[in-house]
Each structure stands twice: as structure tokens, then as C-alpha cells.
Structure 1
Amino acid sequence: MASPALAVDQNTAFLPFQIIAQTVDESLTDKVDDNLTNVLLLNNFQMLDREEAEELVDYTKWPPDTAALDSIAKVTGLDSVAAGSVTIIGSQISIDVKVYDVLNPENPRYFFKEAGSMAELELIIGQVMDEVIAYAERDQLIGRIAPDGNARIDSGAILRKIQSKAGDTYDPAILRDDLKAIYSMGYFDDVQIDVTDGDTGKVVTFRVVEKPAISSVSFSGIDELDDDDVTEVITIKENSILNPARVNEAAAAIETLYKSKGYYNTTVTPNISYPTPETAAVRFVVEEGKKIYIKEISFEGNDSFDSDDLEDVLETKTKWFLSWLTEAGLLDRGKLEQDSARIVAFYHNNGYLEARVGEPVITQEEEWLYIKFIIEEGPRFKVGTVNLEGDLISEKEVFLSMLAIRSEEYLSRKTLRDDILRIQDYYSEQGYAFAEARPKMDISESGSRVDITLSVDRGDLVYISRIAIRGNTRTRDNVIRRELEIEEGGVFNTKGIRDSNRNLQRLNFFEEVNITPEPALDPSKMNVSVDIKEKSTGQFSIGAGYSSVDNLILMG
């Protein structure tokens, strides 16, 4: 049935059905009228009251004659009349409906549905009336909508960009928005709307003129980088539709690539030519300029730490005499963002839990770059009381002895994080693979101290379901399994996994050993994957290292 959201102004009078059956009683009449009324109400339409209809139409002479149609039109003020009948013969039901144009009653539109039982009465009334309404309101509904003129752009891709759909109310304002949406795809030089009348409603056609296809993509002025490196960062390709916005994006991507290599003044100008009306040649003209390095990194707001201390945590560096080899001093925006996070972490690990760092300020002066980090340090917090609660599987003192944060004067997020991992690892060694320790931090009334409580949830005890060994072609499974400190059906144990890895490495049979826990279908179980890479036959290794204690060390 049609949705109320698609309802339009009613322009058709709907007469109650004539009922043809062996027995027509009040119950059957009410049932048919109620079903028709409900279907029409879903579309915000109304059925003419049966008593009123019987005053206008002689139901013994069906269908209504021209005089009756004129009377209905005058009373209702509507342009069309829908008159139908329900015929019931045994268990068979059929519905016939004619829609009359009061100005041309000799040529009505006919609709028909049938069903095999009375249980389907409401269904077929709904089906036939959906068709009747679509036809009667065809001047106000979209019957069909499609693009035309698109040879390379898929019609589905175009239709997914618009709001209007077949069956929707015809709304010129929405169609204008649809036109803009199609044009904004960037693939068309022109988009026009063509609207004609059809049997089921307005036929809306978006007539498009596609942009040319890209016949070639080339570069000029590239000396310091490889063409292949530049090609990798652009999204436009040969034989794709020309999209000027995408071309500009590609030029910007090339400039970004150059900036990441230190060529901060590089400009890229896209030129588009048209060898034929159907094709376009794109050429990117590159002016590389010279490499620009970072001359100075400064900090603002760092009252508690020297700039040298902060600069030590940065990956971004200023230029020095080996920059030609190490690329130190070149600006990498990705690294710069990470450096902001590193400064925040540095402060958080030194008690400044509310420290913030703004976006780095980059200034260019002639051939040099200057970078400034603006810092808000906030207050410094000391470590207060440290406690544990929850599912403790050992005495509290055992856990407290593990916590390095207790010996810290100032709160350090890194130290606290390491302590949490240490406790969770202790639980994992006892088979509680999913244990969690959550910190609760309360600032004291003085505002200078933080009290810490670690709340432990041990979770369920986890067992090892299956141990899968992969990658061994010469070494038998039993040789590997006897080195494992874990077993199928046993309690999960992270220490056993570490010891197993160490044992396999000591065999000196393998180049790589990776033992990885993996979730099983049963949440109380884990699978363990042992992935190995065997050494080649006859392979040996030798290496050398230097220790200030042991001097030269040979390894073989």
C-alpha cells in the first residue's frame, strides 16, 4: 500500500463498491466498506459515504451513467470518479474498478484484481486501489525517473545521488535540488530536467552531457622525485571522467608530497587541453623550488621544563650538518602531530594531568621554517593513597608490592599504565585471560594530590581449547609440542606461552617463532596458534656485538 508520506491532494471521488454476491448482508457490506476506507485513509483520501452515494447513483444500474457522474462531480467538486464492484462467487473474489474523467467519461481506465478466498479481500482491495490512486493522481506523482545521455557514468550511481523516486509526490523544488546534486558529482558539463506526462505519473528525465574522458596524464618539471612516486598520490587515471575538482585535489596531493620531502615552496599547476570534444589531456606543471628546513623549534608556556627537555621528546628536529643524509630538519606534518601528543604524554608522566598542547604554529621566513608549540601546563599532582579492590586472587600486599606508582612523588600515567599491565599479566598467568584493572582517581580537597584505587575484575577462568602448529615442513609436531609449557585442556597461562616461545627459540631450528592466543567460539576458552619459520638446511648464523663490560661478543 502507498505510504502516507507520499499522499497528495485528493482529486478523485471514490464511491463505495457495488457488491455482487449470493447473499449481501449488512456484515459483508460493512466489511467491504471498512477495508476500502482504511486503504484510502492510508493515503489521506476519503470514500464517499454509502448513503450519500446511493442518493447520487442507482446501484442497481452499474456502472454509473454520465448524468450520475456529473452529479458526483458537482457535489464533491472533484475531477474524476472511481467506481467499482466486488464480485464473490463461492470462494472466488474479483474487484473491477473504473476511473472516469468527468470531461471524457466515454474512455474510463479499467483496473482488475482477483483472489481465491475472502481472507485476501483486504489485500486485493489494497493492491487495486494503489494502482487506481497512482493513475488518478498521476499529474501529482512521479511515475518514472531516469537519467539520459550518460554513456560512461552508471545510471544507478546518478540515481543514488537524488532524493526523488518513482511514486513520490511531484515536487519541482526537490527536483531542482536533485539537479544540483547530479551536477555536483563533477562528471557533467550540463544537466537539464525534462518532464512529460505518462500513464502512471510524471516522467522525469535528467538529460546530462558528460565531461570528456581523460586520454592522458603527464607531468613536467619533476627532477627531484620519481614520476612513479608522484603518480601514486593522485587519484585521477586515464580513461576516467574528467572532474576538475579531482584534478585540483591531485595537484594539492602532489604539493603535499613535495612538502613531505622538504620542498615547501613547490607549486603545481594543472593544465587541461582537449584533443577532441570527447577527450581531455591533463598535464601537471611542477615548479619544485629548493628544499626548506626547520631552523628553530620553540615552546611557549613551558614554565616547569626547559625547552631542551621538551625538544628531547620530539621526533621532529632542526637541520644539522648530516641532514642531507638523515633528512633531519624536514617538516613532516604527521610526525609533528605525534610530537604534540609526545609533549602531552611527557607532562602527564610528570604529574601534569591536565596539560594541553595546541596545534603547532608553523612560520616560514625566506628559506627557513620556524615551529612553535604552545603549552598549557595546568597544576601538578602528587601521588596520594594507592589501594586495590575487587576480585583479588592473592593477598592485597602481594599486589601493592607490584605497584611502582607508590614510590613516585608525582603521578605518572606511564608508570600507572605499566602497573595495571603488571597486575593483569599476573592474573593471566593464573588463567584469568580477560582480567581488567580499572583505575579510579580522586583529586584531594587541596587539589594537589590524587588518590588512586585500582578496581580489579578477574573475569572467568580460561582454558586452552586447541593448539595449532603451522609452518613446520621438516620438524614434526611432537618435537615442537614437547617444548611447550602449555597444553590443550589446561588453564591459559601467559607465562607458559612466554616460556614456550623461549624453549622453541633455543632449539635453533627456526628463524621465527610466534605464539599467539586467539579467541575460541566458547568465551571461556582460547585457541593458541604456534607459527614458525624453519631455517634453511645447513644455515648457520654469526654475529658480533660490543659491550662495555664484556668487550667483543661473538654470536653463532
Structure 2
Amino acid sequence: EIKITGFDETAVKPTLKLQSGVPFTRDVLGEDVNRIRQALIAKGRLAPQLKDPEVQFDSEKNEINVALSGKVGPLVEVTFKNYTLSEKKQLQLLPIKREGNIDVSVLEEGARRVRNQLQEQGYFFSEVTPLCTVTPPTPSTVDNGTNETCQNLNPAELNDHTVKVVYDVTLNRRLKLTEIRITGTNKLTFADVEPELKSKKASAFAFIPFLGGYGRGFTSNALLEEDRRTIESHMRDFGYRRAHATVLQGISPTQDNLIITFNVEEGPLTRIAEIDIQGETAFTKDRLSKEITIVKDAPYSRSQVRADNDHLLNLYAREGYIEAEVRPSVDDLPKRGEDEQVRVVFNVIKEGAKAIVNDIIINGVTGSASVQRAKRDAIKRAIPLSPGDLLRADKITEAERALYVTDAFRQVLISQQPAGDAPGGAKKYDVIIDVEEKKPRVVEYGGGYSTDFGALGLLELTNVNFMNKLRSAAIRLRASQRQQLLRFEFLDPRFFRYGKRQFAPLRSQLSTCATRPSPASFARP
């Protein structure tokens, strides 16, 4: 039953999949609700107010009654000022035309997409602003006909109103980005940062569809600001902490060629005068220093310091201190000549206790209870972790890799959660392995024709989790008019255990081949 105020359902009702006497599913209900919404949008009701469907089950008749109520919402008109866009293109670019929503984020997203299209056409500095007019105005309407009106639209109050959305387009000059330069420094060139820059030069192969890139280049004020920050970030990694880049735009008076120049003021170079580690107890300072790659008197690089901080955390994690926290700090020191000096301190905020594996919990396996038990045993056998082991980050990474290598799982997620205290001040953790299985059986087939062998055929049957023990088995058949090859393959990567976590694999192949001699082999000399 459709109870939408102001909506004539006679045209859409016969097209719905949920009719009297057909099986009910939530998926089909969702499709029908969307079909009704699209019917309203097609009539210009771009913000219909539909409530959640009411589903009632009649146990005596074994029937389900569905009721959908709501309001048609305001009549919405979308137009463009100073620009023409076809209806087909509007459907592609404007979410308001498809989603049934006039929220300001939807309007702004439409403006952004139109602006991107204009930038691809060479209008790099075009502006697109949505303006909204509510007729008749509501008591809450502010500055009718402006962008502020768009920001305060409330569809629940606009059921008997008309909303006109005008995208006000200012094209500005159409240009071709022919060159991007970096001046003021010899530490960085355009080639060094070209892959990272959002602005793109005009492509010489623009005539090739889909492969030629941007025919007139691509940029905007927002992209130039991002690129400016990218260049400054690189300069700071070279040790110029106070480097500043400005954007200069040069336009030829006749050819409409745009030249972008990033002018860099380097500022003083910052060098590392001292390196210190504080707060360590589990390891000696000498041991921790081996993980640090920055050196004294070298230019200070924030990214290198972050990388060394990660090295220290990885060392702790490899030794079972998974709760360790290390944070770097930088202290300014007096200048030495023209260069600024800093002291880099790696502060060990927390080391925590060593982590011990308490139990391994595996989720996501399917099948009967016995099948699930077999799959869990196979997973535990495949990973380098056992209850009582030291919980090390590298072992967790290795466990994920070992399970992905089997090709039996689409996704593997390994996490841990506290499970109490262990003797000697250590802490117990349960290792939780969440897996998403692939279909174990894979069928591949193919065919062809050869002038030498005639018709060719291929059939392969593979099971990537044979007997639910992460073994692989396959039957491969290749056949032609002259030759037939049948091969059986079996692989158990953990056939024989030696040592604590080491295995010898077993690989077996059995092939049989039948070949018919060609008629030419019987020809008389």
C-alpha cells in the first residue's frame, strides 16, 4: 500500500516486484522503494520525504502487508547561469538529479564536479556556486536567492514549495598549462615532484582517447595550494624547516598559455646537533641506537625522524613489547654560524610488559562442526604462533602471509585482546584470527584451434583447501585430436614437521599421456 501525499501511484505500482501472492524479501522491498523514489524524482520532486516501510506479518494468513507513507517534497528546478549543460550530463555530474536529496553537501558536490569538468576543459580558475530560491519563502528562509539559502534548506518544511537551484558559473579565461617551474632553490626540481603534484601540464598525446591525459592541462587555485604545500614539505625534509613557497602565474598575452612558477625561499638550514634516547629500561641505549639512522651534523628531516621512531617501535614489538610507546621531540639549540641547530630526543613513554600468547581464536570458517574443527586445526598448524609463545609483531605479519599464501582466504585479519596476567610480570593475550574463505573449488576451461593439432580443449579442476587441511589438489586435462594429457597434482606444504615450527612439504604429480601419430608419419619415403 502506497500512502504518499500528493503522489499518483497508478503508473508506478504495476512496475513493482512486490505484488500480491509473490514471495517477500527485504532486498526486493528496497528495490521497490527506490523505484518509487526515482518515479518522484522524474516528476521534479528531487527531495521526497519517504518514511521507512511498515512491514506487518499476518501469522494466520501467512501474509506480509507492506505500507509506504510520506510526502512528495518540494518541486525542485535545477538550472545553470552563464553555462549550458545537457540533461544527460547533468544526470552524470549532479547528485541532486539522482539521489533525491537537496542537502547542502549534495549541492556543493555537484558544484565541485562541474568545476572539475570546466578545469579539464581549460577553465582552470572557474567558479561554480549554487544559489537557492524558495517560493514562497518559509519563516526560516534567510537571504533568499543566495548560497546561504542553500545551506539552510529543510525539505521537511518545503512540501508545498518550489525550490530553484541555480549553479552560478564564472568561467574566467580559458588557458593551456604548458609549463611548471620551481625557482629559488637547486635542491628540488619539477621532475622530482611531478608525480606528486595535483596540477598537470598539457599532454602532447591528448588526441589519444582515454590515454592522452589532459589536453589543456589541469589545475585550480585549490590544487595550486596543495602543490605549494607539497613543495614546502619536500624542502623541510631537506632540512629547511622555514622554507616558504609562493605561486606565480604567468599568462602569455596572445596564446593563452599558462606558466606556473613555484618560487621557493629556502631560509636557514637546520642541522642535528645531538641525538638522545630517554626512558629506556628493557634495552640498552646502545641497542636502541642501532635502530636509528639519523646522524649528527646531518640536515634535520622530520620524515627520517618519524621513520626512526617506527624502527624503535618495531624493535619493541619484535621482542614482545606490543604496548610500547615512543615519541620523538625536537629541541632548538643556539645557531652555529648560519645554520640552525636542534636536538632530537626519542622518548620511550611506555614499554609495557612482554606479551604471551594465551589462546588462538579463529572466526569465519564455515561448514559443520567437524569441518570447522578441521579447518581451525589446519590454520593453527600453518601459522608460526602457539599458546605460550612470545607474541611478536613479525610473527603476526608472518602468520597473515602464511594464510594468504594458501590462496584459501579472501581476507585475513589478526588482532589481539588482553587475557590476564602471566608469571614473571608478563601479560597474556588472545590472538583472534578473522578469515573470509574463498570458494575452495575452482573450475577453469578453455578451447582453441590449431592447424597442426586441430581442435584444442582445456579443463582444470582445483581445490585450494583439499580435505579442509589447506592442501591443494588439482586435475588437469588437455586434449586435442592428436594428444591427450591427464595430470593429477597434490601439494601438502606442511607434510612433515621437524623442529618446533618447521615443515617439509610433499609434492606429488601423476601424469598420463596418449598420442596419436599424424598421418604424415606413415607416408612412404
TM-score for both structures, normalised by structure 1: 0.48
Aligned residue number for residue 355 of structure 1: 243
Distance 1:235 1:361 in 2: 40
Preserved contact between residue 363 and residue 435 of structure 2 (Cα < 8 Å):
yes
* Equivalent residue letter for 1:535: K
1:427 deviates by 0.5
2:351 to 444, 459, 472: 459
Aligned residue number for residue 78 of structure 1: none
Describe the superposition over 1:294-322 as per-residue Cα deviations: whole angstroms up to 9, x where unpaired: 32323354354445445465343211223
Aligned residue number for residue 441 of structure 1: 330
Preserved contact between residue 115 and residue 128 of structure 2 (Cα < 8 Å):
no
Distance 2:415 2:249 in 1: 44
Aligned residue number for residue 401 of structure 1: 290
Equivalences for residues 203-242 of structure 1 within 5 A: 214-219=74-79, 221-223=84-86, 226-232=89-95
Aligned residue number for residue 188 of structure 1: none
1:406 deviates by 2.5
Equivalences for residues 406-417 of structure 1 within 5 A: 406=295, 409-417=298-306
Task: Looking at secondary structure, tell me which structure has more helix per residue.
Answer: 1
Q: How has the CA–CA distance of structure 1 residues 444 and 429 changed in structure 2, closer, same or farther, with 3 Å as cutoff?
A: same
1:449 deviates by 3.7
1:344 to 223, 226, 232: 232
Preserved contact between residue 251 and residue 268 of structure 1 (Cα < 8 Å):
no
Distance 2:120 2:113 in 1: 11
Equivalences for residues 32-181 of structure 1 within 5 A: none
Name the SS for the 1:406 alignment partner: coil
Equivalences for residues 277-292 of structure 1 within 5 A: 279-280=161-162, 282=164, 284=166, 292=175
Q: How has the CA–CA distance of structure 1 residues 255 and 509 changed in structure 2, closer, same or farther, with 3 Å as cutoff?
A: closer
- 1:388 corresponds to 2:277: yes
Preserved contact between residue 384 and residue 395 of structure 2 (Cα < 8 Å):
yes
Distance 1:437 1:227 in 2: 52
Aligned residue number for residue 496 of structure 1: 395
Distance 1:301 1:295 in 2: 20
Preserved contact between residue 441 and residue 451 of structure 1 (Cα < 8 Å):
yes
* Equivalent residue letter for 1:230: L
1:514 deviates by 3.0
Name the SS for the 1:440 alignment partner: strand
Describe the superposition over 1:240-298 as per-residue Cα deviations: whole angstroms up to 9, x where unpaired: 7xx9x999968855643434544525767869697999542636478797975432323
* Equivalent residue letter for 1:282: K
* Equivalent residue letter for 2:366: T
Name the SS for the 1:502 alignment partner: helix
Name the SS for the 1:418 alignment partner: helix
Distance 1:280 1:247 in 2: 18
* Equivalent residue letter for 1:375: V
Aligned residue number for residue 412 of structure 2: 513
1:295 to 165, 170, 178: 178
Aligned residue number for residue 43 of structure 1: none
Distance 1:403 1:385 in 2: 13
Aligned residue number for residue 318 of structure 1: 201
Preserved contact between residue 233 and residue 253 of structure 1 (Cα < 8 Å):
no
Preserved contact between residue 357 and residue 430 of structure 2 (Cα < 8 Å):
yes
* Equivalent residue letter for 1:229: Q
Preserved contact between residue 271 and residue 283 of structure 1 (Cα < 8 Å):
yes
Number of residue equivalences = 327
Q: How has the CA–CA distance of structure 1 residues 454 and 325 changed in structure 2, closer, same or farther, with 3 Å as cutoff?
A: same
Name the SS for the 1:438 alignment partner: strand
Name the SS for the 1:226 alignment partner: helix
Name the SS for the 1:530 alignment partner: strand
1:469 deviates by 2.6
Preserved contact between residue 386 and residue 452 of structure 1 (Cα < 8 Å):
yes
Describe the superposition over 1:43-64 as per-residue Cα deviations: whole angstroms up to 9, x where unpaired: xxxxxxxxxxxxxxxxxxxxxx
Distance 2:303 2:326 in 1: 15
Preserved contact between residue 235 and residue 246 of structure 1 (Cα < 8 Å):
no
Q: How has the CA–CA distance of structure 1 residues 508 and 235 changed in structure 2, closer, same or farther, with 3 Å as cutoff?
A: closer
Distance 2:436 2:382 in 1: 16
Over aligned residue pairs, what C-alpha RMSD do you find? 4.7
Q: Which runs of 5+ in 2 are unaligned?
A: 1-72, 138-158, 445-490, 492-525
Distance 1:427 1:334 in 2: 42
Q: Which runs of 5+ in 1 are unaligned?
A: 1-212, 542-555
Preserved contact between residue 183 and residue 263 of structure 2 (Cα < 8 Å):
yes
Name the SS for the 2:303 alignment partner: helix
Describe the superposition over 1:215-238 as per-residue Cα deviations: whole angstroms up to 9, x where unpaired: 133457324973233321689967
Identity percentage of aligned residues: 20
Compare CA radii of gyration and give the structure with the larger one: 1
Name the SS for the 1:325 alignment partner: coil
* Equivalent residue letter for 2:244: R
Distance 1:234 1:520 in 2: 53
Distance 2:105 2:323 in 1: 48
1:496 deviates by 1.4
1:442 deviates by 3.7
Aligned residue number for residue 426 of structure 1: 315
* Equivalent residue letter for 1:537: P
Preserved contact between residue 390 and residue 455 of structure 1 (Cα < 8 Å):
yes
1:382 deviates by 2.9
Distance 2:382 2:407 in 1: 12
* Equivalent residue letter for 2:219: L
Distance 1:246 1:390 in 2: 48
Q: How has the CA–CA distance of structure 1 residues 237 and 491 changed in structure 2, closer, same or farther, with 3 Å as cutoff?
A: same
Preserved contact between residue 214 and residue 280 of structure 1 (Cα < 8 Å):
yes
1:420 deviates by 1.0
Name the SS for the 1:416 alignment partner: helix
- 1:533 corresponds to 2:433: no
Task: Looking at secondary structure, tell me which structure has more strand per residue.
Answer: 2
Describe the superposition over 1:521-552 as per-residue Cα deviations: whole angstroms up to 9, x where unpaired: 999665544233323233389xxxxxxxxxxx
Distance 1:248 1:501 in 2: 44
1:507 deviates by 2.6
Aligned residue number for residue 472 of structure 1: 365
Distance 2:413 2:434 in 1: 5
Q: How has the CA–CA distance of structure 1 residues 503 and 248 changed in structure 2, closer, same or farther, with 3 Å as cutoff?
A: closer
Distance 2:379 2:348 in 1: 36
- 1:450 corresponds to 2:342: yes
Preserved contact between residue 234 and residue 250 of structure 1 (Cα < 8 Å):
no
Distance 1:285 1:390 in 2: 59
